[in-house]
Amino acid sequence: MCVQYLTTVNVDWVKTHFDLELPISMAHDVFPSYPGPIILKSHNTDRTAIGLARFGLLPSWAKEETFGRKTYNARVETVAEKPSYKFAWTKRHYALALADAFYEPCYGSGKAVRTTIKQANHEPMAIASIWDTWTEPETGELIVSFSMLTIDASDHPVMQRMHKVEDEKRTVVPLRPELFKAWLNATPEEAQALLQIDSIPELTLA
C-alpha cells in the first residue's frame, strides 16, 4: 500500500518519455488529498495530457472531498467491482502517477522504519493508476483525482519485506517504460494483464 510518495521534478525525463511538459507543483511529498502530476489519455480525442490531480480518488457521487482520504489505493482484485472505482476502471480511465520514490514501513528491525523505495536505475517511476472527475458542490469546480493500483507483493524480492510479518503484502505497480503506452491505451482486460510483478522495473531501498 502507498500512502505517501515523492513526485518527480525530472522535466527532461517526462519530456523524453511522453513529449509533455511537467507542471509546476508546490507539493513534492504527497499524501492523500495532495496534488500530484499524472498522465492520462482521452479515448474520445486520442490525446495524451499531463496535469495535477488529487491523490485519493473522488467518484462523481461522493458527497464531500474528504472521501478521497480513504481511496488512494485500489486493489486490482476488486477494482472492477468496488463502487468507488468501478466507473473509472470500466471507462478505461487509466493514468500514470509520476514519482521519484514512494515510502513504506519496513519492520526488519522489529519496529516500523519509514523506508524509501526507488527504481534501481534512479530514474523516475510511472505508477499505474485510475482517475475520475468530481464536481465541488458549492463552487462547481471540476476536480480530477486518482488512486494507485495495488497487487499482491508476496513474491516481490523488495516489496515482500515491507509491513508487519503478519500483514498482507501489497505493492503499487511502477511500470517498465515499454509498457507506458500499453497501459494508457488498455482495455480492462489488458489492464488486468499488465498489473503483474514482472511489469515492475527493478526496485531498490534508498
Alpha-carbon dihedral of residues 36, 39, 40, 45, nearest 10 degrees? 130
Per-residue pLDDT reduced to its tens digit, 80-109: 999 999 999 999 999 999 999 999 988 877
pTM above 0.85, yes or no: yes
CA atoms within 13 A on the CB side of 21: 2
Q: How far apart are the C-alpha atoms of 132 and 59, rounded to whole Å?
A: 6
Grid coordinates representing 82? 468496488
Q: Regarding beta strands 5-7 and 48-55, do their DSSP bridges make them parallel or antiparallel, or are they unpaired?
A: unpaired
Residue 163 pLDDT class (50, 70, 90 cuts): confident
Pairing relationship of beta strands 48-55 and 142-152 according to DSSP bridges: parallel
What grid cell was written down for 189?
Answer: 482486460
- CA dist., res. 38 & res. 53, Å (int): 7
Residue 166: per-residue pLDDT: 75
Q: State residue 110's pLDDT score.
A: 76
If pLDDT is split at 50, 70 and 90, which confidence band does 112 have? Answer: confident
Alpha helices in the chain (DSSP H): 11-18, 83-90, 180-184, 188-194
CA–CA distance, 93 with 104 (Å, rounded to integer): 26
pLDDT tens digits, 4-62: 999 999 999 999 999 999 999 888 999 999 999 999 998 888 999 999 999 999 999 99
* pLDDT value for 167: 79
Using CA atoms, how far apart are residues 80 and 118, in angstroms rounded to an integer? 29
Residue 135 has a pLDDT of 95
Pick the CATH number of 5-205 from 1.10.1200.10, 3.90.1680.10, 3.20.20.140, 3.40.50.300: 3.90.1680.10
> Are the C-beta atoms of residues 202 and 120 closer than 8 Å to each other?
yes
* Segment 119-147, tens digit of pLDDT: 999 999 999 999 999 999 889 999 999 99
For residue 69, give the nearest of 81, 84, 52 by alpha carbon: 84
